[in-house]
Amino acid sequence: MSLPKLLLFLSLPLYLLDQATKAWTVSNFAPPWSPEASQWKIIPDIFHWIRVHNQGVAFGLGNGTEWAPIVFLLVPIIAMVMIRIFWKKGVFEHALSKIAVALLLCGILGNLTDRLVQGFLLDEVKNGSFWGRLSQGYVVDFISVKLPLYEKIVPESRGWWPTFNVADSCICVAAIFLFIGGVMDEKAKAKLEKSKAA
């Protein structure tokens, strides 16, 4: 399948789902620092819906630092350029690799949209400068799940996996697909070389 078709039929619907769930979360839950902050215990002590602001990357790395909003605004743009270059070079040959790229682009664009928009929606900085408001950009995370044995690995987590969103899920699945697709591509190349040598 071509990249435009994958973007239309896979990336776009998932991107819209990501943005819709984030918009719903922001509309229905107070900011994390607010006294009214709450969570929806869909399955108590297993699966909660909660509003979290993440200015860092995976697992909240860099969250709360002054450099994170700018650095993590540039990284997705560079990643999209690199994906385009690799796609043109034919690096992503296997079907799973192509699907992974579509998921990866969805995840990158979903979280990049947050970083570009969310800072401008905060009442606390509505009178700030353009750059000041842009630097307050954050990713909306809301899926909170408790995993068996995770508390043994990270005791301070109390078993709760770092909160994430639809875009993050797309990126994680994309990473798995890229790995499997890469292995299958290598096997196919090895088989082709073997048949040529025979």
Q: Determine the Cα–Cα distance for residues 134 and 121; give it in Å rounded to an integer.
A: 10
| pLDDT recorded at residue 91 | 78
pLDDT, residue 125, reads 83
Q: Which of 18, 45, 141, 185 is catalytic?
A: 141
The catalytic residue among 114, 123, 168, 185 is 168
Q: 70-79: per-residue pLDDT in tens?
A: 777 788 889 9
Active site residue 123: no
Q: How far is CA 163 from CA 15, 110, 112, 144, in A?
A: 18, 16, 17, 5
Quick one: pLDDT at residue 55?
84
Q: What is the pLDDT of residue 73?
A: 78
Kindly tell me the sign of the dihedral angle through the C-alpha atoms of 99, 10, 81, 142: negative
Predicted local confidence at residue 59, as pLDDT:
59
Which residue stretches of the chain have pLDDT < 70? 57-66, 198
pLDDT of residue 198: 65
What's the confidence (pLDDT) of residue 1? 73
* Tens digits of residue pLDDT in 51-71: 999 887 665 666 666 677 777
**Bridge partners, 50 (sequence order):** 39
What local confidence, expressed as pLDDT, does residue 152 receive? 94
141 as an active site residue: the answer is yes
The residue ranges of every structural domain in the chain are: 3-197
- Neighbouring C-alpha atoms within 13 Å toward the C-beta of 37: 10
